[in-house]
Amino acid sequence: MAKSLNIPLEEEMVSILGQCGSALTNVLQSKFGCTTVLHGVDANYAGQSRKPSIFPEERFSIHLSKSFKVSVWKDDLTTHRVDAVVNAANNGLKHYGGLAKALSDAGGPAIQQDSDQYIFSKGMLSTGDAIIAPPGYLPCRKIIHAVGPNLPYNPRKYDVDVATPQLQRAVLSILKVVKQDHLQSVAIPAISSGLFNYPLPLCADVIVKTLKEYHDPNYSGAPLEVRLVNHDEPSVREMERACRQILGSSGSHSQQVVAQGQSPKASYSPAASSHGKGSTKPFSTHTVQLGNVSLTVKKGCIEREKTLCIVNTISTDLNLSTGVISKAILKAAGQGIQKEIGNYFKNNPKSGDVIETQGHKLPCKNVYHTICPHKSEVSEKSLGDIVSKCLSMAQKRQLSSISFPAIGTGALGFSKQEVAKIMMDTAVTFAQHNNGMKMDIYYVIFPSDAETFKAFEDQLKSLQGATQHSSSSSKGFGHTTDQYESRATNEHRYPRGGASPYIELNSAHSDKLMEAKSWLTRAFKPSENFTIFNSFILHFGQREFDELLSLHTKWNVFIEEFFKDGRTGVNIQGASRGVRASVIELEAICCKVQEDFANKEELDMGLKSSNNFSRKPVEKTSSNDFSGLEIVRVEKVENSTLKHLFELKKRQLQSASSQRMYQRLPAQYCDLVSRVGFQREFAPPYEQKYGEGIYFSSSVHGTEKLWRGLADEEYLYFIEAQVLTGESTIGSPGLTVPPETPGGDPLSLYDSVKGGVDTCVIFNGHQALPEYLIICNKTSTHKFG
């Protein structure tokens, strides 16, 4: 069950996060697995104050099917908000001119560096190839480098004929990697039409025809919007012309959409659509566009909605057979959904919770079951919080469409007008702080409930600021947006209800939220000096040291690296503002280096993906090893690659058995250990008395002395592992490998070293297999660490 935590921001931190908010969100995701929303903060990516060179404008859009949309935009690709933007690349991924240079400059040096690394390890790309890569500082999740055909100036017909299937292949390659990476929106420029000399009108025809041919053989893929995005008017006109000729002219007309850092402008369009099996009567629908978020009011039955997620309301007994909406969902989904939601009863569900289940036989992917209290028990804000939680969960799951019923009407005592206003105001706030992901929000009103439908319809009118309304007209409410813009601008600066700016943290686990909060408290505290301990500073290369140097200048601070008693870190000194900002940006650099390290380890192990492991919750252990500690959660680590390497190491050491041992580590390394196994950098002890290897203790309480530097953490994170100690001897400081065994053979080494009664040190991570992650909370009876 998703949980959230709000942390207020004082004025100076709001200003700091306006320059490094993106770095902070990356740190919180990497260190603690928390998704972050900055409310009331106008954060620029990577501290850059980039603004769109032109105002985003949607010229055309059409749904080829429920799940596949094509649209034409005039916009700057370097600031366009989608899951992935496409770069028109050359075979060597050298981004020296045109769109490639613009995207590389905006995304920062990592774009070219990642490209060079790919070419070094994989070789040149062929024409028609497409690869996916990290986006650097671009406001998207991925960048796709696609190699279109490169023609000579003023090409002959023969050259164009040869190049045409290569351009088609490039478009299909883009769609292939989009599908493989589960992306839901992609922005494609007029590939090859600029510096590569492919005729622009034919380029538009080929791209649009390829999209149609990709879709038409009974498309059944995940929801996808393909945006044809160009900044120059000739390219935009040709793309619109090709779409209208090839896909049809029923698409929408010119529509301006919110740019990054601006308040959304509402655009209203009534339409009609049939809904439901066997339905022949068109149900009226009305839509308002708020940047990348659309709000639609429609008549229909929630259980028939084909959005990725639908919302239900239930009581704390989790019985789906009570309540009109729940009954309809249960009937359509089957008893499997009741069985799944019943599993949550042991968690003592309470008002305000949102429980996620699969869709089962419903046409949606997920169902969010909201436990909504009666109006007499709560305030209007509580209902808004429930709606906000549903939207945040959908955003975290990358679900681009969600359908709500009119939550709170009927037996819960809220008036229809109250519900309409609360639900739409919450959506407006969500749209203002959306991370750029496209989201379609539907309010599905039962066809016979005319009063509720009118309440929601009227609320859309108030968003647009219109004065007249016609439910059957195909004409919009016009474009008078002053009233809405004024409200949106104020709410963008300060969230709904006049609240001060704050950070919203979201995670599945409370301990991760509390660890993130604890770190934020330390990092945000005004101070003229701060120390970061992180062994990955030893892995800094020229790029990272250049970035350190830039922090010196940018924030007027002094940064000094140190290595003492086996612990690596940096000291930051300067004025409080500069120190706090440098902490955030330096932590982001460390997180990037850690991820690069993990990716390389996976590559060395022959893995092509970071999804090679899983952790499954299991029953809490009753072992006496954890006396004095409250066990919060136990997860079993499953990693077949690590297990295979462990078994190989066991045969190599001719060891028939292994020992159960423990390692205590910071929260930020739990996933990394599960992914790539034990590394020296993850959990160095407070003192390396027995060598510079990987430390374990044979008892939980034996870890207390080894890792006493972690004493300030509220939660304790232990990895229980099987360790191959093999032939062992006493360790000593400075050992980087085990000492030689007696006999004078310099190639014959001990398998491990030991210290005290319960300390073991290994020097090869494959000698230990992580089996369980155990999270504990300190109790008042034991001052652990």
Q: Three-class SS string for 68-124?
A: EEEEEEECCCCCCCCCEEEEEECCCCCCCCHHHHHHHHHHCHHHHHHHHHHHHHHCC
Q: For residue range 73-87, what is the model confidence (pLDDT) as tens digits? A: 998 898 888 889 999
Helix (H) or strand (E) holding 592: helix 576-604
Contact residues for 73 (Cβ-Cβ < 8 A; gap 6+): 56, 57, 58, 59, 80, 187, 227, 228, 229, 230, 236
SS3 560: strand
**Least confident segment among 22-31, 195-204, 239-248, 716-725:** 22-31
**Statement: residue 338 has pLDDT above 90:** yes
Q: In the beta sheet, which residues pair with residue 147?
A: 89
Domains of the chain and any CATH numbers: 57-261 (3.40.220.10), 268-480 (3.40.220.10), 526-604 (3.30.1370.10), 614-778 (3.90.228.10)
What number is the average pLDDT over the span 416-433? 86
Residue 366 is predicted with a pLDDT of 92
What number is the average pLDDT over the span 609-631? 72
Handedness of CA 731, 732, 738, 744 (dihedral sign): negative
**CA–CA separation, 117 and 125 (whole Å):** 13
**CA–CA separation, 227 and 240 (whole Å):** 11
Helix (H) or strand (E) holding 342: helix 335-342
Residue pair 88/146 in contact by the 8 Å Cβ criterion: yes
**CA–CA separation, 771 and 607 (whole Å):** 20
SS3 60: strand
Residue entry with tokens 């601008």: 489
**CA–CA separation, 37 and 512 (whole Å):** 16
Both tokens of residue 185? 């929106």
**CA–CA separation, 774 and 670 (whole Å):** 10
Residue 478 is predicted with a pLDDT of 29
**CA–CA separation, 404 and 295 (whole Å):** 11
Residue 651's region, left for phi above 0, alpha for psi from -120 to 50, else beta, is alpha
SS3 484: helix
Residue 379 is predicted with a pLDDT of 54
**CA–CA separation, 94 and 78 (whole Å):** 17
Q: In the beta sheet, which residues pair with residue 404?
A: 443
Which amino acid is it at 407? I
Q: In the beta sheet, which residues pair with residue 188?
A: 228
What number is the average pLDDT over the span 621-635? 78
SS3 567: strand
- Vertex 550, ends 546 and 555: CA angle to 5°? 155
Contact residues for 432 (Cβ-Cβ < 8 A; gap 6+): 263, 264, 290, 488, 491, 492
Residue 17 is predicted with a pLDDT of 87
Of 141, 202, 125, 129, which is closest to residue 171 (Cα–Cα)? Answer: 129
Residue 276 is predicted with a pLDDT of 37
Of 485, 24, 37, 19, which is closest to residue 262 (Cα–Cα)? Answer: 485
Residue 46 is predicted with a pLDDT of 37
**Statement: residue 485 has pLDDT above 80:** no
Grade residue 55 by pLDDT with cuts at 50, 70 and 90. Answer: low
Q: For residue range 133-184, what is the model confidence (pLDDT) as tens digits? A: 988 878 888 999 999 999 988 889 999 999 999 999 999 999 999 999 888 8
CA distances from 627 to 176, 662, 776 (A): 53, 15, 11
Both tokens of residue 541? 């290369």
**Statement: residue 724 has pLDDT above 50:** yes
**Least confident segment among 280-284, 536-540, 612-616:** 280-284
Both tokens of residue 47? 């501290």
Q: What is the DSSP letter of 740?
A: B
Residue 296 is predicted with a pLDDT of 87
Both tokens of residue 391? 């939207």
Residue 744 is predicted with a pLDDT of 75
Neighbours of 648 (CB within 10 A): 11
More confident residue, 376 or 745: 745
Residue 625 is predicted with a pLDDT of 77
SS3 369: strand
pTM above 0.85, yes or no: no
Residue 719 is predicted with a pLDDT of 94
**CA–CA separation, 590 and 570 (whole Å):** 11
Of 386, 441, 438, which is closest to residue 412 (Cα–Cα)? Answer: 386
Residue pair 66/442 in contact by the 8 Å Cβ criterion: no
Of 188, 190, 191, 199, which is closest to residue 152 (Cα–Cα)? Answer: 199
What number is the average pLDDT over the span 9-34? 85
**Statement: residue 780 has pLDDT above 70:** no
